[in-house]
Amino acid sequence: MRAVRHTEHGIEVLDVPEPDGDGPIVRVRAGSICGSDLHMLAMGPLPFTLGHELAGVLDDGTRVAVDPTSGCGTCDQCARGATHLCRNGFDRLLGVGAHGGFANAVAASDHRLVPLPESLRIEDACLVEPLGVAVHGVRLSRMGGGERVAVVGAGAIGLAAVAAASPVASEVGIVARHDAQIAAGERLGARAAAGEYDVVFEAAGTESALATAADLCRPNGMIVFLSTHWEPVAIPGLPALMKELAFQWSYCTCAHDGGHDLDDAAALLAADPEIASTLITHRFPLDDAAEAFRVAADRASGAIKVVLEP
Ligand SMILES: [Zn+2]
Ligand SMILES: [Zn+2]
């Protein structure tokens, strides 16, 4: 089968052995490129297939998305149901520590399979994971409903935050660099941010975005980080202190009372097809992965989510 690897020659699509093992094999139909995939390229050649946002079909025909995280089942975090925080989870993280989904097939034995609602197109269901990340962040914000919410950064994860927060918030404001990003936010129910907010999602990962988030937060408001800080960032100490801001980091997705973030995300995607049509801007066949990665990394391309279709 074919699989996307980062080698000394850059992004390549290689012939690799079919996945083996006892568990279910997912025949991948769609995988989307994440900002973290682009960051990992800076680490040089990687020994595994990339891709942690994926959807496909089991051999029995079941259509699924896949939780790339998996718990060891024995540590204290797994015992309390926080499998995404498993002490031993990194080596099993699909596309990050283990073979991922930019391939014809992936072994999903230890991974949670997310059955797709009937009306959710499988070619859009690779968004279940990134939207689930935003759903997880909204849950960690402990919003009760009716809050004013702002999102700083309008890349894929910022727009996913708009989509995830809109059903609960009274209003969603967005801070974005480009008019096209504001327009995408507006399609999902946001407007240009103005005024003060109860909860601010930081989805850009930069120091200036964090400063903006602190400015937008009301006293005793909360900043939720959906971004990844690949380098240390300075905390805007005085506004954070003088407003007694709360900071909450959000990582991947997990089960919660009565459900799972990924099932919630799949339901949200099925209920509002505008989310996928706004987020997915480009699609490429698997063999064009090098070009897909180039487009995903090119800010001038207008790319939000770039999808590979094996
Ligand atoms: Zn991702
Ligand atoms: Zn564990």
Residue pLDDT, tens place only, 226-268: 999 988 999 999 999 999 999 999 999 999 998 999 999 999 9
Choose among 173, 185, 204, 205: nearest CA to 279: 185
pLDDT at 180: 84
Interval 148-196: pLDDT, tens: 999 999 999 999 999 999 999 999 999 998 888 899 999 999 999 999 9
Does 29 share its domain with 119?
yes
Same domain, 214 and 152: yes
| One domain for residues 106 and 196 | no
**Cα(55) to centroid(ligand 1), Å:** 13
CB 193 within 8 A of CB 183: no
Q: What is the CATH number of the domain that holds 78?
A: 3.90.180.10
Ligand positioned closest to the Cα atom of 227? 1
Residue 96 CA, ligand 1 centroid: distance in Å: 10
Q: Are residues 213 and 96 part of one domain?
A: no
pTM of structure: 0.96
- Tens-digit pLDDT profile for residues 39-68: 999 999 999 999 999 999 999 999 999 999
Give the three-state DSSP class for 70: coil
Ligand 2 center to residue 66 CA distance, Å?
18
pLDDT confidence tier of residue 281, bands split at 50, 70 and 90: very high
The SS3 of residue 101 is: coil
**Is pLDDT above 90 for 21?**
no
For residue 129, how far is its CA from the centre of ligand 1 (angstroms)? 7
> In the chain, how many domains are there?
2
Question: From the CA of 287, how far away is ligand 1's center (Å)?
Answer: 21
Q: In this structure, are 32 and 120 located in the same domain?
A: yes
Chain mean position to CA 292: 18
- Give the pLDDT score at 129: 98
How close is the Cα of 71 to the center of ligand 2, in Å? 4
Mean pLDDT for the chain overall: 96
The helix/strand/coil state of 98 is strand
- Long-range contact list for 295-298, CB < 8 A, 24+ apart? 296/33, 296/37, 296/38, 297/38
Q: What mean pLDDT comes out for the span 6-32?
A: 94
pLDDT band for position 300 (cuts 50, 70, 90): confident
Q: Is the dihedral of CA 73, 76, 82, 83 positive or negative?
A: negative
Ligand 2 centre and the CA of 178: distance in Å? Answer: 41
Q: Starting from the CA of residue 73, give the closest ligand.
A: 2
> Of the ligands numbered here, which is closest to the C-alpha atom of 72?
2
Q: What Cα–Cα distance (Å) separates residue 106 from each residue in 2, 111, 140?
A: 11, 11, 30
Q: Which ligand is nearest to the CA of 67?
A: 1
- 51 alpha carbon to ligand 2 midpoint, in Å? 22
Q: If 0-12 CB within 10 Å is exposed, 13-18 middle and 19+ buried, where does residue 126 land?
A: buried
> What pLDDT is recorded for position 251?
96
Distance from residue 232's CA to the centre of ligand 2 (Å):
27
Ligand 1 center from residue 193 Cα (angstroms): 25
Residue 22 has pLDDT above 90, yes or no: no
Residue 110 in this model has a pLDDT that exceeds 90: no
Centre of ligand 1 from the C-alpha of residue 95, in Å: 10
The angle subtended at Cα 310 by Cα 282 and Cα 296, nearest 5°, is 30
Question: Domain range holding 205?
Answer: 134-249
How sure is the predictor about 31, in pLDDT bands with cuts at 50, 70 and 90? Answer: very high
Assess whether 111 and 146 both reside in one domain: no
202 CA → ligand 2 middle, Å: 28
Residues 291 and 220 in one domain: no
Cβ-Cβ contacts under 8 Å for 271 (sequence gap 6 or more):
none
Asked if 243 and 148 sit in the same domain, the reply is yes
- Whether the per-residue pLDDT at 276 is higher than 80: the answer is yes
Q: State the burial class of residue 187 (Cβ atoms within 10 Å of its Cβ: 0-12, 13-18, 19+).
A: middle
Tens digits of per-residue pLDDT, 68-97? 999 999 999 999 999 999 999 888 899 999
